[in-house]
């Protein structure tokens, strides 16, 4: 687990200052609007811009590239606080940081970093990550979208339909994965940096989601979209490697999001158990309620520590080059299932009020579910963990 020879789990003064500043921002700016934006499904652009001004859209990115220049623990703390206020805001934040920014920093050329990373990390532009297709989810090798190099060798012509693209309706820059050599399976996938203001880029139908409704998810359609060869990320055929490497980082973000949702549901339950009375005493005085609170608290803290452990593993990887796939998958698996467990118990503790939109716990319940699905389902996480432990690839 925690390697004491590398970065440690002790929070620095800088970490604490960031956490407290984000917590105050979330309480002031996000909590009052969260229910309304969940109801309407409108994208919260104003608060996302404010988050960008605070440096929250590029926390781990170097300051030279528009970021805040902080570490992964800082990122986890910030995502948790934003998610505790509203999961939708944290979803946009996580995609921007973990998937788009990290991919550009890790695999981008200097020209690509200046053109794409700087505006995304600074919050000037919004990034999106597009791997999934209507008939291709966990099995990326079956994707049907295609990119074909033109006769002049200057552009790839992209055609196809992508689905479940977070921030798709509003994104300025999309990290797109599509087939360039279908006969090679997942070795024939290439990553492209796509600009949304170009001909052939079409925003498709917006998804009517159960939860994280304000995070704006849609299909993207490409019709003869001409992407310059200079906008290939990495090398042709490297797309699957890039996608999987980036998802390791992304899963830490989703784990942090799940911890935030779980923490919000837990705190609401403790408050309600103290205040709600039945049979002449607070419901928290009953042992069945106490058992729920004990299980919720224990799982919450375990999820938090697994997530911070994954953050430490990612930080160590910068020094050692070691992968942190197992740590990220364990954190994502346990934290997401913990969020769902705690949100479910929160609804139960609140009784009828837990089923009402007058209380936020029903939103926590709806939001928690997606953390078990996106960026690798719980089933995929278990496969990843087991295969790594057994030495299977």
pLDDT (tens digit per residue) in 119-156: 999 999 999 999 999 988 777 778 999 999 999 999 99
Class of domain 240-390: mainly alpha
- pLDDT value of residue 9: 76
Q: What is the mean pLDDT of the chain?
A: 95
Of residues 291, 293, 290, 324, the one with CA closest to residue 310? 324
Instruction: Phi first, then psi: give them for residue 158, nearest 5 degrees.
Output: -105, 130
Query: Bridge partners of 93?
Result: none
- pLDDT value of residue 5: 53
- pLDDT value of residue 2: 45
With vertex at residue 85, the alpha carbon angle to CA 258 and CA 53, rounded to the nearest 5 degrees, is 105
pLDDT (tens digit per residue) in 166-179: 999 999 999 999 99
List, by residue number, the catalytic residues: 375
CA distance 137 to 114: 31
Query: SS3 of 360, please?
Result: coil
- pLDDT value of residue 4: 44
CA distance 155 to 149: 6
Residues of the chain with CATH 2.40.110.10: 128-237
Spatial contact of 222 and 301, defined as CB atoms under 8 Å apart: no
Q: What is the C-alpha R_g of the chain?
A: 21
- The CATH number of domain 13-125 is 1.10.540.10: yes
Percent of residues in the chain assigned helix, strand, coil, to nearest 5: 60, 15, 25
pTM value? 0.95
pLDDT (tens digit per residue) in 69-95: 999 999 999 999 999 999 999 999 999
- pLDDT value of residue 7: 66
Query: SS3 of 148, please?
Result: strand
Per-residue CA distances from 286 to 190, 209, 212 (Å): 57, 36, 33
Extract long-range pairs of 143-146: CB within 8 Å, 24+ residues apart: 143/177, 143/178, 143/179, 143/189, 144/179, 145/178, 145/179, 145/222, 146/178, 146/179, 146/180, 146/182
Residues of the chain with CATH 1.10.540.10: 13-125
Phi-psi bin for 196: left (phi > 0), alpha (psi -120 to 50), beta? Answer: alpha
The mean pLDDT value for 3-17 works out to 78
Spatial contact of 170 and 126, defined as CB atoms under 8 Å apart: yes
Which secondary structure element, helix H or strand E, spans residue 161, and what is its range?
A: strand 155-166
Residues of the chain with CATH 1.20.140.10: 240-390
Of residues 117, 115, 83, 87, the one with CA closest to residue 100? 117
pLDDT (tens digit per residue) in 93-118: 999 999 999 999 999 999 999 999 99
pLDDT (tens digit per residue) in 336-362: 999 999 999 999 999 999 999 999 999
Query: Superfamily for 128-237?
Result: Butyryl-CoA Dehydrogenase, subunit A, domain 2 (2.40.110.10)
Of residues 35, 30, 34, 84, the one with CA closest to residue 356? 35
């Amino acid at each position: 687990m925690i390697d004491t020879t590398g970065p440690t789990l002790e929070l620095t003064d800088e970490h604490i200052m960031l956490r407290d500043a984000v917590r105050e921002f979330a309480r002031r700016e996000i909590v009052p609007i969260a229910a309304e934006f969940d109801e309407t499904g409108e994208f919260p652009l104003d608060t996302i811009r404010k988050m960008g001004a605070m440096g929250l859209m590029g926390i781990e990115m170097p300051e030279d590239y528009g970021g805040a220049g902080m570490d992964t623990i800082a990122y986890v703390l910030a995502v948790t606080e934003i998610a505790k206020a509203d999961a939708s805001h944290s979803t946009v934040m996580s995609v921007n940081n973990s998937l788009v920014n990290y991919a550009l920093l890790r695999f981008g050329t200097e020209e690509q970093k200046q053109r794409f990373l700087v505006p995304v990390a600074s919050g000037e532009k919004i990034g999106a990550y597009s791997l999934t297709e209507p008939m291709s989810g966990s099995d990326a090798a079956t994707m049907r979208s295609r990119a074909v190099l033109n006769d002049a060798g200057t552009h790839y012509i992209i055609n196809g339909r992508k689905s479940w693209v977070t921030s798709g309706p509003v994104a300025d820059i999309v990290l797109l994965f599509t087939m360039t050599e279908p006969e090679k399976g997942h070795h024939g996938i290439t990553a492209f940096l796509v600009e949304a203001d170009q001909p052939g880029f079409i925003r498709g139908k917006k998804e009517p989601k159960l939860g994280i409704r304000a995070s704006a998810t849609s299909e993207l359609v490409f019709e003869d979209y001409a992407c310059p060869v200079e906008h290939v990320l990495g090398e042709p055929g490297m797309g699957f490697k890039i996608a999987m490497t980036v998802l390791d980082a992304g899963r830490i973000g989703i784990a942090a999001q799940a911890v935030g949702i779980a923490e919000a549901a837990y705190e609401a339950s403790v408050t309600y158990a103290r205040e709600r009375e039945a049979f002449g005493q607070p419901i928290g005085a009953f042992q069945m309620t106490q058992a729920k609170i004990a299980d919720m608290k224990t799982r919450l803290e375990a999820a938090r520590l697994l997530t911070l452990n994954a953050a430490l593993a990612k930080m160590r990887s910068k020094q050692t080059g070691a992968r942190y796939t197992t740590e990220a998958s364990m954190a994502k698996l346990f934290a997401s299932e913990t969020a769902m467990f705690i949100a479910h118990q929160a609804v139960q503790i609140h009784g009828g009020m837990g089923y009402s939109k007058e209380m936020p716990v029903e939103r926590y319940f709806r939001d928690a579910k997606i953390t078990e699905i996106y960026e690798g389902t719980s089933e995929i996480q278990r496969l990843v963990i087991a295969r790594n432990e057994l030495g299977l690839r």
